[in-house]
Amino acid sequence: MEPSQANEDTPTSETNSATEADAFSSGRTRRDPVGWTMWSLAAIIAVSGVFMASIALGRSDSSSVTAAGGSNNASGTPATQPATAAGASIDFQATPAADWTPYDPTLKPADGATEHKLTMHATEKVLEIAPGVTQEMWTFDDKVPGPTLRGNVGDLFTITLVNDGKLAHSIDLHASKVAWNVEMKSINPGESIVYQFKAKLAGAFMYHCGTAPALHHIGNGMYGAIIIDPPVLAPVDHEYLLVQSEIYTGPEGQPGDLTKMMAQAPDAVVFNGYVSQYKFHPIRVEPNERVRVWVVDAGPSENSSFHIVGTIFDTVFKEGSYTLQPDARQGGSQALDLQPAQGGFVEFSFDAAGLYPIVTHKFANVGKGALGLFQAGEVAAAGTPTH
Ligand SMILES: [Cu+2]
C-alpha cells in the first residue's frame, strides 16, 4: 500500500459518511480504484467512530500467493494441479457481479418435529468464493457451508449421506454421541450411508467430512452447522448463522491447496463461504430489534473473536452454556471467542440507525474477507451522519 492511498482513504471528516452509505447500499457493484479494502476499513472507522487510522490493511497483492516452489505431491490434490501452482489470487478490492447472490444468513427456527429425516449429497462443485474467483469446493448439497440442521434436545436425526462426488467422503456430526467407526465411515462415489443419532445435549455444533485428510476436506468446504436449541431460548426478532472458515486457494477452478492448509497460511477468512459477502450485501434489521447471531468456527485452523462494531452483547451462549444473560450483574460482552469446532450465539440490539461492521477482532483476518455489515434502519445514500 502506498502512503498516498492511506492518506486518501483515511477518514478525516464527516464527508466520508455520505460516500460510505452510498457504497454500502445493497446490490451495488463497483470497483474502487483507490482500493476497496482500505476504503472499507476506513468506512468501519468512520462508522464506529473509533480512531484506528494506524491500522492499514494490505492491498490485494499482499494476498497473492508467493510460496509454492515446493512439490504438491504430498497434498493429495489432483495430478492435474501443477507442482508449482501458487493458487488463485483474490482481489479484495473487487466486487461481485450484478447477478451474484449472497449465502442467506437467516437461521430458520426448529420446525417442532421430534424426528428429522434428510438426505445430504456429498459433491465436488465449482463455486465462486470471492469476486471472480472460483474453486472446486467439496460440499454437502453443493453449497458452503452445507445445509443447517436444527432441532431440540431429545430429537432423533436420521441423515442419509449420498456420495455423488468422485472422491470418498463421510460425515461427522458433533451433536451426536455415536461410534466413529460405525457412523462416520467413508463411502465411495455412488455409495450411501445412514447416520442416525439422538440429540442429547444443546449447542451450536459443527459437522464436517472426516475423510482423510480431514484437513483437506474441511479446508475445502465440507462443513456446516447443527443447532440443538437449549431449553431456554428467549424470543428475538431475527436469528442468523455465520460460519467462519478459511480458504486456501488452489488454481482457479481447482480444489484448495493442502500444503497451504498444513502451513496454516489462508488466502482468505470468510463468513458463510464467501469473501466479505455481507459487506457487499448488508444484513438488514431495524434499530432496537433484538438479534441473535449463532456463530460456528469451522476452521479448519483459525480461531474467531466474533465482534460487531457499535454494539455490546448482553447475552452470550458458548459451547452449551450461557456465559452472560441480562440480570443484576449488568454485564456486557464485546467478543465471542471460538476455537475451531466451537460455537455459540450472541444477542444484542442496535440503538441507532446505521451501519455496524461484523468482524473477527483478530484484525489481520478482516482484511482477508472476515468482514460484513449489519444495516439497522434506513441509511441514506447521501445523508448526514447519525452519530
Ligand atoms: Cu469429504
Sequence-distant (6+) residues with CB within 8 A of 341 are 174, 206, 297, 298, 299
pLDDT confidence of residue 63 = 31
**Given phi > 0 = left and psi -120 to 50 = alpha, else beta, which region is 64?**
beta
Residue 264 to residues 78, 172, 215, 249, 360, Cα–Cα distance (Å):
20, 22, 10, 12, 17
Question: Mean of the per-residue pLDDT values for the chain?
Answer: 83
Q: Are 309 and 357 in contact (CB under 8 A)?
A: yes
Q: Is the pLDDT of residue 204 over 70?
A: yes
Of 313, 294, 355, which Cα lies nearest the Cα of 43? 355
For residues 235-257, give the mean pLDDT: 98
User: To 5 degrees, how large is the angle CA 361–CA 365–CA 370?
Assistant: 85
Distance 50 CA to ligand 1 centre (A): 43
Distance 137 CA to ligand 1 centre (A): 10
Side chain identity at 381, as an amino acid letter? A
pLDDT confidence of residue 129 = 98
pLDDT confidence of residue 233 = 95
Distance 43 CA to ligand 1 centre (A): 39
pLDDT confidence of residue 117 = 98
Distance 206 CA to ligand 1 centre (A): 14
Q: Is the pLDDT of residue 249 over 80?
A: yes
Q: Is the pLDDT of residue 234 over 60?
A: yes
Domains identified in the chain and CATH numbers = 115-229 (2.60.40.420)
Q: Is the pLDDT of residue 380 over 80?
A: no
Distance 168 CA to ligand 1 centre (A): 6
Distance 354 CA to ligand 1 centre (A): 41
Q: Is the pLDDT of residue 18 over 70?
A: no
- For residue 189, say if its preceding peptide bond is cis, omega within 30 degrees of 0: no
The 10s digit of each residue's pLDDT in 176-198 is 999 898 889 999 999 999 999 99
Distance 166 CA to ligand 1 centre (A): 10
pLDDT confidence of residue 86 = 83
- Decide which of 384 and 266 is more confident: 266
Q: Are 130 and 137 in contact (CB under 8 A)?
A: no
- Decide which of 159 and 13 is more confident: 159
Percent of the chain at pLDDT exceeding 90: 74
The 10s digit of each residue's pLDDT in 60-101 is 333 332 333 323 333 334 444 444 458 999 999 999 999 999
Sheet of 133-140: strands edge to edge? 133-140, 115-130, 156-163, 192-198
Distance 101 CA to ligand 1 centre (A): 25
Distance 111 CA to ligand 1 centre (A): 28
Q: Is the pLDDT of residue 168 over 80?
A: yes
pLDDT confidence of residue 309 = 98
Distance 121 CA to ligand 1 centre (A): 11
Distance 12 CA to ligand 1 centre (A): 48
Determine the Cα–Cα distance for residues 356 and 308; give it in Å rounded to an integer: 6
Task: Label residue 152 exposed, middle or buried (CB < 10 Å: 0-12, 13-18, 19+).
Answer: middle
Distance 221 CA to ligand 1 centre (A): 9
Distance 133 CA to ligand 1 centre (A): 22
Distance 138 CA to ligand 1 centre (A): 6
Q: Is the pTM of this model over 0.85?
A: no
The number of helices, as runs of H, and strands, as runs of E, in the chain is 7, 19
Distance 340 CA to ligand 1 centre (A): 18
Side chain identity at 367, as an amino acid letter? G
Distance 188 CA to ligand 1 centre (A): 10
Of 341, 327, 331, 348, which Cα lies nearest the Cα of 203? 341
For residues 14-31, give the mean pLDDT: 34
Distance 142 CA to ligand 1 centre (A): 12
DSSP for 257-313, written as a single string: -HHHHHTT--SEEEETTBTTHHHHSPEEE-TT--EEEEEEEEESS--EEEEETT--B
Distance 187 CA to ligand 1 centre (A): 9
Distance 170 CA to ligand 1 centre (A): 6
Q: Is the pLDDT of residue 340 over 90?
A: yes
- Decide which of 284 and 39 is more confident: 284
Distance 186 CA to ligand 1 centre (A): 8
- Decide which of 289 and 77 is more confident: 289
Phi, psi of 308 (to 5 degrees): -125, 120
Distance 84 CA to ligand 1 centre (A): 24
Under DSSP, is residue 75 helix (H, G, I), strand (E, B) or coil?
helix
- Decide which of 116 and 36 is more confident: 116
Distance 209 CA to ligand 1 centre (A): 5
pLDDT confidence of residue 182 = 84
Distance 270 CA to ligand 1 centre (A): 20
- Decide which of 35 and 300 is more confident: 300
Q: Is the pLDDT of residue 53 over 70?
A: no
